[in-house]
Chains A and B, each alone.
Chain A
Amino acid sequence: MFDFALVEQVRIHDLRFAFGPTATLSPKLPFFGLPTIECAYGRSMADIETIAASVATLKDGFEEHRYICSDEIATAVFLAYQLRKPVLIEGPPGVGKTELAKTAAEMFSLPLVRLQCYEGLDESKAIYEWKYGKQLLYTQVLKEALDEVLQGAKGFAQSVTKLHEFGDIFFSEEFLEPRPLLKALREENGCVLLIDEIDKADHEFESLLLEILSDYQVSIPEIGTIKAAAEPPIVFLTSNNTREISDALKRRCLHLYIPFPDVEVESKIIGARVPDVPPELQRQLVEFIHELRNLDLKKLPAISETIDWARTLVLLHAESLEPQLVKDTLNVILKFQEDIDNVHSEVNSLTAKIAK
């Protein structure tokens, strides 16, 4: 197992040389494993450049990965890549904020490092932690070795001086447990870093992020500053706006607001995500959802709900939106009993309206 991983790493490493920016074929190539894997890894660097070359190519790239995006979103990713700036994504829940980061990672074939925020999240869970267990174990094991080290030392002062010569071995990278943020910085080929629901984290945590967001580095008191590898991560932060994000953080980010999509885009999304929906039903259900969004509801149905609903309807072999069918499946799109009750009485008029 271990050996295999090592071999794999070596292979990837060499291939990066083989498929450098010039992409000349190396005669060494036949010696290395499966051609399919080589392609996937060897092409990735050049791929990112071509995909992120313009807004249009990015948009196509996203569409290839079944993520239909507006020009705003594509522009945001374009600027994020070109200017090396993090993107703060806001918008109502379920419009595909997290999905955007995931798709971007997939599209660029970069690893996705995800940090889910919650109340009480701190640096030991987000950036790094010392491997206390390992430190403890090593101190126990090395107790015997201590005599050798201290051999010949007379008195307390001399012993301490001798010990000092060995430096802070217990606070070196060996004993460092990297958490998502540090992991993201250490990715050689760059990665997509997703800091999800930043608004759930404490106010103090935002300040912790500032260094990594503006300079792509973290400072660890015992070791020093760790900078990002050659290729800094592409950072996405998402927020549901349950509280105001601090100005300092916002200042360092591009700000992308994803609203609910218009009918056209949403139809495209449904087409991409649930291809089995009959076109007539697709039109009707998207229009129905848009009608719902005009009502005063506690929680408006988002894209994720539209997709779920489309899947449900396909499962039920529906051909068009019948009032009874809608009433039976309302609980897929509305998540509050109060909302369901309110809409229930209006289903007939709504379906009549969109049937035209």
Chain B
Amino acid sequence: MNAQTTDRTISNFIRALRNADVRVSTAETLDALSAVELVGYDDRDYLKRTLSLVLPKTADEKVTFDACFDQFFAFQDVRGEAEDALGESGDAEAQESEDGGDGEGGGAGGDRQAQPGGKRKKSKSKNKNNLFEEEEEEDLGPGDMTDPKSALGKLLMANSRVELAVQMSAAGEAVNIREIQIFTQKGLYARRIMDQMGLADLNQEIADLRQAPAVPARRLGQQLKARRDFLREQVRDYVEQQFLLNADVSGKRLREELLRKVKLSNVEHRNFRLIQEIVYKMAKKLSTLHSRRKKVFKRGQLNISRTLRNNMSYDGAIFNLHWKSVKVDRPKVFAICDVSGSVANYARFMLMFLYSLDEVMPKVRSFAFSSDLAEVTELFNRNKIEDAIAKTLRDYSGGSTDYGQALLDFKKLCLDDIDNRTTIIILGDARNNFGEAHAEVLKELYDRSKRVIWLNPEARLAWNTGDSEMRKYGAYSHQVEECNSLMHLERVVGNLLRQTN
């Protein structure tokens, strides 16, 4: 039963970890169990260190793990002084077995020590049967305080916070605390957990003790009462945590799902952080997908020198053939972003996305313009992504949009750097304020580069209306996409990686 409680606590904890986006596999769960078996629950820090070696597998996950662990195994000491209490309870234990060898109490106490957390129900029933007999022994007992009789009382007096936490989560499990969905259920669940932990017995015992004639027993009654109240608070906290761990997460999932689809210009400022997280997550997914450097084998073209070299050991007999293979370069991306008011928000998230992918796309150069264009690559290399984006928007977003001028600037700046491996991504609504479009510049870029992708945040219906030059520019783009949500962005970048790899 003890092993089961342990198993359940750990697997609940792992559930909470998974909720917090730490990936834990079944194999790792088994590892965690065997590690815990080795380490035990006595030392909280030790347990934390151990689990943190087994479960989280990146530095980021470790941070999440720390927070989760603290929340999950958070349990105040019943009196606030753990070490002393442990020593004392050890002493009490020794005394008990010394003088109460024949009584049921001594036996039960030994039981508790040997199998922490186990046999709760059994000892409870024992207590009920032998209540009277034990009372007598209690009165005779030496020391300031008598030993508690109810299972919960013992637990409280034992002062092991981890033990208490284990019991509490076991009780929580029994009343299906994880089903908690709305905050009004908190009181109900707290009550149920207390009941499950044996509140009725404890209350009975306290009532009995308070009427007991002997001083030590009454003192115990007072202690127990204080600790019961403390426990009640703890249980309330525990329910609160469980509510946060279980109920809130599904809410967060839902919110993330919504934010992926919502138009980026409509995102409220308070959601920026969350969006950032999503962007990183999406970028992470894409980079793991594409971090494998793929080799394209051109079967049919023999790599003669390599074949000869590798077959030398076979006395020159050529039976191990090597084919020419082409290592595909990582995409070289030039991102040109319109950062004027109407498009700034989209530019923000696209830049964020591109730079979060630096693991698979190390060669991103970025340019920002509203009327004049400038390169902001250095800014991104030197600053954190968020800071760089803020600076870019601050410095370049003034002025009315002039795509023609921007293209000319771009041509002047780095036409020479564009070769047939370059992908140019232009993000903008192509609203040129009726200025000169200079589509011929784009044609030149189109001819030189591998791909020109134009991302337009406007809905397709609005293209080519008013001052939009989408038709002219679209002619010289390999791909024209409507792009106004994270989902679109993910698709575009995913395609980019797939095609260039």
Name A's B-contacting residues (CB within 8 A): 55, 71-72, 75-76, 79, 82-83, 85, 87-88, 90, 132-133, 136, 202-203, 241, 243-244, 247, 250-257
Partner of A255, one of B34, B38, B53, B292: B53
In the complex, whether B79 has a CB less than 8 A from a CB of chain A is no
User: Chain A residues near B288 (CB, 8 Å)?
Assistant: 244
18 more A-B residue pairs beyond the given contacts A71-B49, A72-B49, A254-B54, with a C-beta to C-beta distance below 8 A: A55-B46, A72-B53, A83-B34, A87-B53, A90-B58, A136-B313, A203-B291, A203-B293, A241-B59, A243-B359, A244-B287, A244-B291, A251-B25, A251-B28, A255-B53, A255-B54, A255-B56, A257-B62
In the complex, whether B35 has a CB less than 8 A from a CB of chain A is yes
| 8 intermolecular pairs with C-beta atoms under 8 Å apart | A72-B52, A79-B54, A85-B31, A203-B292, A244-B359, A247-B25, A247-B57, A257-B62
Name B's A-contacting residues (CB within 8 A): 23, 25, 27-28, 31, 34-35, 38, 45-46, 49-50, 52-54, 56-59, 62, 287-288, 291-293, 313-315, 359
Partner of A254, one of B53, B287, B293, B359: B53
Q: How far, in Å, is A59 (CB) from chain B's closest CB? A: 12
Partner of A132, one of B25, B287, B314: B314
A202 to B327, CA, bound (A): 13
Contact A90 B59 (CB under 8 A): yes
User: Chain B residues near A83 (CB, 8 Å)?
Assistant: 31, 34-35, 38
Q: How far, in Å, is B2 (CB) from chain A's closest CB? A: 20
Contact B62 A79 (CB under 8 A): no
User: Chain B residues near A85 (CB, 8 Å)?
Assistant: 31
Q: How far, in Å, is B388 (CB) from chain A's closest CB? A: 13
Partner of A202, one of B28, B35, B293: B293
Partner of A243, one of B45, B49, B291: B291
Partner of A79, one of B23, B27, B53, B291: B53
User: Chain A residues near B31 (CB, 8 Å)?
Assistant: 83, 85, 254
User: Chain B residues near A82 (CB, 8 Å)?
Assistant: 38
Q: How far, in Å, is B322 (CB) from chain A's closest CB? A: 13
The 9 closest A-B pairs by CB, nearest first: A132-B313, A250-B57, A255-B57, A254-B53, A75-B49, A203-B292, A257-B59, A76-B53, A251-B25
A203 to B25, CA, bound (A): 21
User: Chain B residues near A76 (CB, 8 Å)?
Assistant: 53
Contact B35 A79 (CB under 8 A): yes
Contact B50 A79 (CB under 8 A): yes
Given the contacts A254-B54, A255-B56, A247 and B23 also touching, CB distance less than 8 Å? yes
User: Chain B residues near A250 (CB, 8 Å)?
Assistant: 57
Q: How far, in Å, is A136 (CB) from chain B's closest CB? A: 6
User: Chain B residues near A257 (CB, 8 Å)?
Assistant: 59, 62
Most buried by B among A55, A79, A90, A133: A79
> Nearest chain-B residue to A72 (Cβ)?
B49
A247 to B52, CA, bound (A): 16
User: Chain A residues near B291 (CB, 8 Å)?
Assistant: 203, 243-244
A55 to B50, CA, bound (A): 11
User: Chain B residues near A79 (CB, 8 Å)?
Assistant: 35, 38, 50, 53-54
> Nearest chain-A residue to B359 (Cβ)?
A243
Q: How far, in Å, is A226 (CB) from chain B's closest CB? A: 22
A247 to B292, CA, bound (A): 13
User: Chain B residues near A243 (CB, 8 Å)?
Assistant: 291, 359
A213 to B314, CA, bound (A): 33
User: Chain B residues near A244 (CB, 8 Å)?
Assistant: 58, 287-288, 291, 359
A90 to B62, CA, bound (A): 12
A253 to B28, CA, bound (A): 9
A243 to B35, CA, bound (A): 28
A250 to B22, CA, bound (A): 13
A106 to B467, CA, bound (A): 75
Q: How far, in Å, is A337 (CB) from chain B's closest CB? A: 15
User: Chain A residues near B292 (CB, 8 Å)?
Assistant: 203
A317 to B54, CA, bound (A): 46
A7 to B440, CA, bound (A): 85
User: Chain A residues near B52 (CB, 8 Å)?
Assistant: 72
A283 to B470, CA, bound (A): 65
Given the contacts A83-B34, A251-B27, A254-B54, A136 and B293 also touching, CB distance less than 8 Å? no
Partner of B53, one of A75, A132, A133: A75
Q: How far, in Å, is B56 (CB) from chain A's closest CB? A: 7
User: Chain A residues near B314 (CB, 8 Å)?
Assistant: 132
Q: How far, in Å, is A176 (CB) from chain B's closest CB? A: 15
User: Chain B residues near A253 (CB, 8 Å)?
Assistant: 57
User: Chain A residues near B35 (CB, 8 Å)?
Assistant: 79, 83
Q: How far, in Å, is A130 (CB) from chain B's closest CB? A: 8
> Nearest chain-B residue to A87 (Cβ)?
B53
Q: How far, in Å, is B66 (CB) from chain A's closest CB? A: 11
Q: How far, in Å, is B29 (CB) from chain A's closest CB? A: 11
Q: How far, in Å, is A149 (CB) from chain B's closest CB? A: 20
> Nearest chain-A residue to B54 (Cβ)?
A254
Given the contacts A202-B293, A244-B288, A254-B54, A71 and B45 also touching, CB distance less than 8 Å? yes
> Nearest chain-A residue to B382 (Cβ)?
A296
Most buried by A among B34, B50, B288: B50
User: Chain B residues near A247 (CB, 8 Å)?
Assistant: 23, 25, 57
